[in-house]
Amino acid sequence: MIVGIDLGTTNSLIAYFSEEGPRIIPNRLGKNLTPSVVSVDEEGNVYVGETARERMSLYPGSVAQTFKRSMGTERDYVLSGRHFRPEELSSMILRALKEDAESWLGEEVTEAVISVPAYFDDKRRKATKRAGELAGLRVERMISEPTAAAVAYGLYDKTQDTRFLVFDLGGGTFDVSILELYHNILEVRAVAGDNYLGGEDFTEVMARLFLQKRKLQLQKLDEKEQVRLYRQAEKAKREISGKDQVVMSFLYQEEMLEETVTAREYEDACEELLMKIREPVKKSLSDAGLKLGDIDEVLLIGGATRLSLVRDFLIRLFRKFPDTKLNPDETVALGAAVQAAMKERREEVREVILTDVCSFTLGTDVVVEYEEGRYENGRFCPIIERNTVIPASHTERLYTVRDNQEKVCVKILQGESRFSKNNLYLGELMVEIPRAPRGQESIDVTYTYDINSLLEVEVTVNSTGEKQKMIIKGQENQMTDEEITRRMEELAYLKLQPRDFEENRLVLLRAERMYEEALGDRRKKLDHYITAFEAALDKGEHDEIVDAREALNEILEKEDD
């Protein structure tokens, strides 16, 4: 069974293709969204999703979130004294989703199509693939999130040529993609975006507003208070959509503080974020050689597009109402499931050719002559430009710059800067050449890039015909197959919480968090119901546990309004 997975910054989802079309698979708590949050306790128990998020209020040092933003980096997360890389934390999310799918479907899940932001570079895509492998999944294909959204909307079934702009503002990343449909080919024309812009930033604005009004400083809050602040800011951010104002409350040093934030104040404070949204839109249109008027449809995906201030801004920007008929949180996962069905060659899905583009320019380091006999080292020579439709293969001929030069080092780089040092180093090839006066010997450097983000570099010495070739699979410190296997074994010692235990654990964590945030009579009431639930758990009678849990849940829902 091949499934589709949206591995998100804030929430993740898993879907499969059924006889009725793509369907989201609910998690062990019966919900479609699994928060992309991981917690590890002192005993090595792993909590994933909503349970992990509740632990953040009580044990902030044991929880990690928004680690998708750090995918492909060397950032180290320390949870209860254990060290993890971003892809290892992501693998725990994927493993939980895999278990949920296997329980729901009643069969083993062996392979997944995983979505990635269109603006993810090579190392981030490879880190995502490693996360899948660490979770026990084969990941032969990844799909960019905008392409997945277009597939979910059924754009490939349209009968006329159409241009679409897919606006994807998730919890932590932002992508703009322009796609064009002609015949049965769905082609990505251009992508742009920001890996560090998303709904979390709009939450931070609300938190800052509250602090400013109360003349408080974030650094003077302890860890638990910071978690409580951002939880309430997230709640206020959601509530203010469509309203004139919202009241945000926050427990600070045993005192409940309240402040009213108006919609105008919040929108003014978000102006800088809205301006940051404009640039990738302009860049993608420019790269595609189009104007806003050339776009036939605008699709919104990503949970942050639910914010009324974002939607109002986009209506003014695009001068048309975007298409929002699908749930923006679920669109990418549904599209990934359709792509999985295409990979399985399911008869229910009409085959469509999906093309993608190279998100970043690929090139090499060269020496340039800027005056007669004067040279400058460290300049970047593009070979495959960004937004080139892939698969693609381009060749650049380079000449020697020194007399009797014996070797040429071809550095493989990715980025947009004129200077090599500012771009991402992927690897290098060293080739020997015959000694000759400068400019008489040359090499052909050929880059071939495919839809699976594999870059083949071939260097040919033109005078001798000698060739050297290498495949770039990721950054220079990529884990080998043996290292992946060894790390999988190490991570296996960490224990995901049993499915039947998690619902009870989640209710207790939520109750404990709300008890800490409450005062006076509310605390007494919560304590009564928590104690009753714990007593039922100690007795172990299933019916009593269910009744006590429902009673506690009912109180929690009322008190959390």
Q: What is the mean pLDDT of the chain?
A: 87
> What is the β-pairing status of strands 138-144 and 111-116?
parallel
Say whether pLDDT at 475 is over 50. no
pLDDT given for residue 455 in this prediction: 84
CA–CA gap between residue 176 and residue 146 (Å, rounded): 8
517 belongs to the catalytic site: no
pLDDT given for residue 123 in this prediction: 81
CATH architecture observed for domain 199-271:
Alpha-Beta Complex (3.90)
- What does the pLDDT look like over 280-334, one tens digit per residue? 999 899 988 999 889 988 999 988 999 999 999 999 998 888 888 889 999 999 9
Say whether pLDDT at 456 is over 70. yes
> What is the β-pairing status of strands 392-399 and 407-414?
unpaired
Least confident stretch, 222-231, 232-241, 354-363: 354-363
Confidence of residue 451 (pLDDT cuts 50, 70, 90): low
CB 364 within 8 A of CB 381: yes
Our CA dihedral for 2, 8, 10, 15, rounded to 10 degrees, sits at -30
2-197+273-357 sits in which CATH class? alpha beta
Please give the helix or strand (H or E) that residue 91 lies within, else none: helix 86-105
pLDDT given for residue 187 in this prediction: 79
Model's pTM, two decimal places?
Answer: 0.76
- What does the pLDDT look like over 130-148, one tens digit per residue? 999 999 999 988 888 888 8
Structure tokens at 495: 């224990």
Closest of 162, 417, 178 to residue 282, by C-alpha: 178
6 belongs to the catalytic site: yes
Closest of 182, 106, 175 to residue 147, by C-alpha: 175
Fold classification of 499-559 (topology level): Substrate Binding Domain Of Dnak; Chain:A; Domain 2 (1.20.1270)
Q: Which of 6, 50, 200, 329 is catalytic?
A: 6
145 belongs to the catalytic site: yes
Fold classification of 362-465 (topology level): Substrate Binding Domain Of DNAk; Chain A, domain 1 (2.60.34)
Q: Which of 88, 168, 200, 234 is catalytic?
A: 168
Same CATH topology for 362-465 and 499-559?
no
pLDDT given for residue 353 in this prediction: 66
CA–CA gap between residue 459 and residue 454 (Å, rounded): 17
329 belongs to the catalytic site: no
Owner of token pair 């930033």? 201
Owner of token pair 């190392």? 123
Q: At what angle do helices 122-134 and 481-492 cross, to 10 degrees?
A: 50
Q: Which of 99, 121, 122, 145 is catalytic?
A: 145
Say whether pLDDT at 178 is over 80. yes
Confidence of residue 513 (pLDDT cuts 50, 70, 90): confident
Q: Which of 54, 68, 126, 517 is catalytic?
A: 68
| Buried b / exposed e along 329-340 (16+ C-beta atoms within 10 A) | bbbbbbbbbbbb
> What is the β-pairing status of strands 407-414 and 495-496?
unpaired
pLDDT given for residue 492 in this prediction: 61
Q: How many CA atoms lie less than 13 Å away from 424 in the CB half-sphere?
A: 18
Confidence of residue 374 (pLDDT cuts 50, 70, 90): confident
Sequence ranges of the domains in the chain: 2-197+273-357, 199-271, 362-465, 499-559
